[in-house]
Amino acid sequence: MTDEAPAGRATVDEAGAGRRAMTGAEEGRWMHALVERLYPLCRSITGDGVRRTLEIIAESVRLRVREVPTGTQVLDWTVPREWNIRDAYVKDAAGTRVIDFAASTLHVVGYSVPVSATMTLEELRGHLHTLPEQPGLIPYRTGYYAETWGFCLAHETLEGLGEGPYEVVIDSMLADGHLTYGEYVVPGRVPEEVLVSCHVCHPSLANDNLAGAAVAVRLARRLAETDPWYTYRFLFAPGTIGAITWLARNRERTSRIRHGLVLACAGDRGPLTYKRSRRGDAGIDRAVRHVLRTSGREHTVVDFSPYGYDERQFCSPGFDLPVGSLTRTPYAGYPEYHTSADNPDFVSPEAMLETLETCWEVTRVLEGDRRYLNLSPYGEPQLGRRGLYGALGGRSDTRQAQMAMLWVLNLSDGRHSLLDIAERSDLPFAVVADAARALRDAGLLKECAL
């Protein structure tokens, strides 16, 4: 498959949907089921867990999977050695696994080097990580770029351990290999791109990782059913190093990116949060802000900061791409963050569906934004004799539609886009776009280049 291979129509059989279009509720359940399926896999920034994750995603969208060898220079970074793990445990003298990787992938510090030893609890304690303030939860810890090892466990489990001795085993391998990421492209009528990125490097964390990937898959499938104006590129990559690797390998392509969105923490029950791009007033910033404001959904819009998810890579000053970030509760903003409580029960089909609908509405703004020129600019043209007012009869938003026509006529001077008009009039973009189409069809407007 070539990099730009057509996506095709998303009509394969899916649970509860057959070959018909899914309802919103079915989409929500589908996304949740995908989260549940991916949840047990042990992901890290490299390794077979990432590959298996991408294989499962590729059942729904035709991914192009990339493998970048260990040691490859990517901007100021180097692709690290690949990490894989088969098993890990701490056994007491009776042979009971008091810490067991098979029970939770969070039990092992990510990128732990191999260990096979017998230790007392005192010797082991320096390699154990807990959350005393959340004693029933297992923390998520990594040691990507330091050759170390460790276990994570609930603090209440640690408090119940005797002095040992304990059999300590981490059956892992850290060796030259590859960093793996996947791309899916929905071809558009123009080569300019909208980038949608999510990270696939965390182990068993449902909201911070998997919910964003599930929303991205459903959004991609919806877009594949359309004939979009823009080309949409979906990136499923390990956090930080994956985005840096993609940027290093796609410097020339970045000039095509007109809009971008990083998806994460997409399934919790908190309100939506949008983090602006570094530019602050890019088209994506305005589109998301407009959708959130007119949707009535509870939300927060925050300014860019160079900390967070991969928006900070895309918005680094050398690239300065128009990429924002959409989450629900932001990273570290909920007590379940980076703990075993971030499980499939923590995310809901309804929350993921709301995130998906928000993304979809944003794409409708990006796709529909145009500039027009009023062909009858001297005084207000007579709309009644052209049947334009009559065409609005019976609509529940008749008053809005009438006002949208007047606003579009007044501001269609070749300089204002439909998004400009929607923002200034405080009308929903869809209503403004409908009015513009009606006026264009009546011969009162002509389209200008953006």
Identify the H or E element spanning 51.
helix 48-57
3-class secondary structure, 182: strand
Measured in degrees and rounded to the nearest 5, phi and psi for residue 182 equal -125, 150
- CA dihedral (104, 108, 114, 116) positive or negative: negative
Q: Which residues pair with 168 in a beta bridge?
A: 90, 117
The whole-model pTM stands at 0.92
What class does CATH assign to 370-448?
Answer: mainly alpha
If one looks up domain 83-175 in CATH, what number appears? Answer: 3.50.30.90
Question: Which CA distances in Å does 373 have to 286, 370, 400?
Answer: 22, 10, 21
Q: Which residue has the tokens 């059956």?
A: 171
Q: How far apart are CA 160 and CA 146, in angstroms?
A: 30
Q: Contact, 74 vs 245, CB < 8 A?
A: yes
Q: Give the contacts of 393 (CB within 8 A, at least 6 positions apart).
A: none
Q: How far apart are CA 264 and CA 287, in angstroms?
A: 18
Measured in degrees and rounded to the nearest 5, phi and psi for residue 229 equal -70, -50
Phi-psi region of 338 (alpha: psi -120 to 50; beta: other; left: phi over 0): left
Q: What is the mean pLDDT of the chain?
A: 93
Tell me: pLDDT of 398 over 80.
no
Residue-wise pLDDT for 357-380, tens only, equals 999 999 999 999 999 999 999 998
Q: What is the DSSP string of 4-34?
A: T-------S-BTTTBTSPPPHHHHHHHHHHH
Residue-wise pLDDT for 41-67, tens only, equals 999 999 999 999 999 999 999 999 999
List the structure tokens of 161: 């351990």
pLDDT at site 390 = 59
CA atoms within 13 Å, Cβ hemisphere of 109: 21
Q: Which amino acid is at 444?
A: L
Tell me: pLDDT of 394 over 80.
no
Residue-wise pLDDT for 118-162, tens only, equals 999 999 999 999 999 999 999 999 998 888 999 999 999 999 999
Residue-wise pLDDT for 428-440, tens only, equals 999 999 999 999 9
3-class secondary structure, 215: helix
The β-bridge relationship of strands 193-199 and 178-186 is unpaired
pLDDT at site 4 = 43
pLDDT at site 7 = 39
Q: Contact, 137 vs 205, CB < 8 A?
A: no
Residue-wise pLDDT for 184-230, tens only, equals 999 999 999 999 999 999 999 999 999 999 999 999 999 999 999 99
Write down the domain spans for the chain. 24-79+178-367, 83-175, 370-448
Q: How far apart are CA 405 and CA 171, in angstroms?
A: 67
| Termini Cα distance of the chain | 33
Fold of the domain built from segment(s) 24-79+178-367: Aminopeptidase (3.40.630)
Q: Contact, 272 vs 358, CB < 8 A?
A: yes
Burial degree of 32 (CB within 10 A; 0-12, 13-18, 19+): buried
